[in-house]
Amino acid sequence: MNIERMETKQRMSRIVKHNGVIYLCGQVCADATQDITHQTQTMLDKVDSLLVQAGSDRKHMLSATIYLKTMDDFAKMNEVWDNWVPEGFAPARACVTADMAREALLVEISVVAAEIVE
């Protein structure tokens, strides 16, 4: 069994790879003082970076779970999401409300993707 863990700390690994599948830990925004649009975009920017680091990209996402502090932000988050996901490559997705780890956080995402095989 080949499991590769990247950027591992005591509590979690930022990336775990197993049998060609990539699991990202929950990602949040770069600046929690910003609105939902900015928080969503910078969160997805982090996902982009981690996917590339792990040997994947947006077109290889298998699933995404999005956590929103309030469904009041659903439409604005989806505007950013819809522009970010390549047409024809939408992953399986769930979106739920959840308590956030920090009060100012409005959105978090967890992503599973396939490794790009050349």
**22-60 pLDDT tens trace:** 999 999 999 999 999 999 999 999 999 999 999 999 999
Q: In Å, how far from its chain's centre is CA 114?
A: 14
- Tokens 């992953």 locate to 91
pLDDT score for 118:
77
Whether the predicted pLDDT of 1 surpasses 90:
no
pTM: 0.94
pLDDT score for 94:
98
Backbone angles phi, psi at 44, to 5 degrees: -70, -30
Tokens encoding 17 = 């790879």
Domains, the chain: 3-114 (3.30.1330.40)
